[in-house]
């Protein structure tokens, strides 16, 4: 039984169709990732899921409550973290948490236990008296996440929690999300980083307001299996241009000292390898989400 369901969401701003018919579902304990570049429509989608923006068409339901028709019922089951979360920078970590606990009418008797749990996940307790404005970027994101979880919602909607965060803090944030999911929280999270798609249980690749792919991340990437080759070369740019001349090659480009080749079809593998042998030794390479994204959004 999904705890979050949305169907056929549309939203236009003036003449720009920001979201064109998006449907999603998330179950208890599931992490659903919305992956796509800036301007793909991720934030608009999340705001409609959270009931903060009225869709032109479609609806969104959180645990039986329609986010627009029964906003109070929906909101008490929902935690939402916008991309630029408004923490009070001159309040300490502890004071920010107390403020959000008051806002969400969290009973005083339950606070202590909840805070202990959130501190355990976030490892922010040693900094509880530090002003939020003096925390590092990664720690601020963790604090924002704690504030969004203070009322123990069943659904958590997070808009790019890892953007601009360094790899170390990024991994910590994901560990916190896994811990929440483990407790049964359904999480919808957006990210512009293709390499985060594989961290989700279910993923939608978003481009120009619509999903271009949807499903289990491993099986999505496996669609590209056998179509990506790579090899080292002295002048990778020049050689990529040579490889592009072959009709079996969809794209060829340099990555560091290597050339990556994406085939139009798996069946072309042998032919392209022997064509390329004049310049370099091509070997099959594990496809990435970026390969998939470029393939699905390509004009050629």
Interface with other proteins by CB under 8 A: which residues? 31, 36-40, 136-138, 163-169, 171, 174-175, 178, 182, 192-195, 198-201, 216-218, 235-238, 253-258, 286, 290, 293-294, 297-298
For residue 83, CA distances in Å to 1, 63, 159 come to: 28, 24, 5
- State how far the Cα of 10 lies from the Cα of 55, in Å rounded to an integer: 6
Q: Which residues of 267-298 are buried (b: 16+ CB within 10 A; e: fewer)?
A: ebbeebbebbeebbebeebebbbebbbbbeee
CB of 217 to other proteins, least distance (A): 6
CB of 160 to other proteins, least distance (A): 10
- Give whichever of 195 and 265 is closer to other proteins, judged by the CB atom: 195
- Give whichever of 63 and 285 is closer to other proteins, judged by the CB atom: 285
For residue 9, CA distances in Å to 40, 42, 46, 89, 135 come to: 14, 12, 11, 35, 37
- Give whichever of 193 and 214 is closer to other proteins, judged by the CB atom: 193
Task: For residue 134, give the nearest of 169, 80, 87 by alpha carbon.
Answer: 87
Residue with tokens 């271009």: 212
CB of 106 to other proteins, least distance (A): 26
Task: Answer yes or no: are the C-beta atoms of 285 and 260 closer than 8 Å.
Answer: yes
- Give whichever of 65 and 243 is closer to other proteins, judged by the CB atom: 243
CB of 141 to other proteins, least distance (A): 12
CB of 76 to other proteins, least distance (A): 27
- Assigned token pair, 81: 């973290």
- Give whichever of 40 and 67 is closer to other proteins, judged by the CB atom: 40
CB of 147 to other proteins, least distance (A): 21
Burial of residue 83 (CB within 10 Å: 0-12, 13-18, 19+) is middle
- Give whichever of 59 and 253 is closer to other proteins, judged by the CB atom: 253
Decide: helix, strand or coil at residue 45.
helix
- State how far the Cα of 34 lies from the Cα of 299, in Å rounded to an integer: 22
């Amino acid at each position: 039984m999904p705890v979050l369901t949305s169907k056929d969401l549309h939203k236009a701003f003036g003449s720009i169709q920001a979201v064109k018919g998006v449907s999603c579902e998330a179950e208890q304990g599931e992490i659903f990732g919305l992956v796509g570049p800036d301007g793909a429509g991720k934030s608009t989608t999340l705001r409609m899921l959270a009931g903060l923006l009225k869709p032109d068409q479609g609806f969104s339901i959180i645990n039986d409550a329609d986010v627009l028709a029964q906003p109070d019922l929906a909101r008490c089951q929902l935690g939402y973290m916008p991309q630029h979360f408004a923490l009070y920078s001159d309040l300490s970590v502890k004071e920010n948490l107390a403020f959000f606990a008051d806002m969400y009418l969290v009973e005083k008797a339950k606070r202590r236990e909840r805070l202990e749990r959130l501190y355990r996940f976030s490892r922010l307790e040693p900094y509880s008296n530090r002003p939020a404005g003096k925390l590092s970027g990664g720690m601020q994101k963790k604090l924002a996440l704690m504030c969004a979880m203070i009322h123990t919602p069943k659904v958590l909607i997070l808009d790019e929690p890892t953007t601009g965060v360094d790899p170390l803090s990024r991994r910590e944030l994901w560990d916190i999300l896994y811990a929440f999911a483990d407790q049964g929280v359904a999480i919808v999270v957006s990210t512009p980083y293709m390499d985060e798609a594989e961290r989700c249980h279910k993923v939608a690749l978003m481009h120009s307001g619509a999903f271009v792919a949807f499903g289990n991340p491993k099986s999505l990437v496996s669609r590209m299996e056998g179509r990506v080759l790579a090899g080292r070369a002295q002048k990778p740019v020049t050689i990529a241009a040579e490889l592009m001349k072959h009709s079996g090659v969809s794209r060829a480009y340099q990555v560091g000292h290597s050339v990556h080749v994406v085939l139009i079809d798996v069946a072309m593998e042998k032919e392209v390898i022997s064509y390329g042998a004049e310049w370099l030794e091509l070997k099959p390479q594990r496809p990435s989400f970026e390969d998939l994204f470029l393939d699905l959004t390509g004009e050629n």
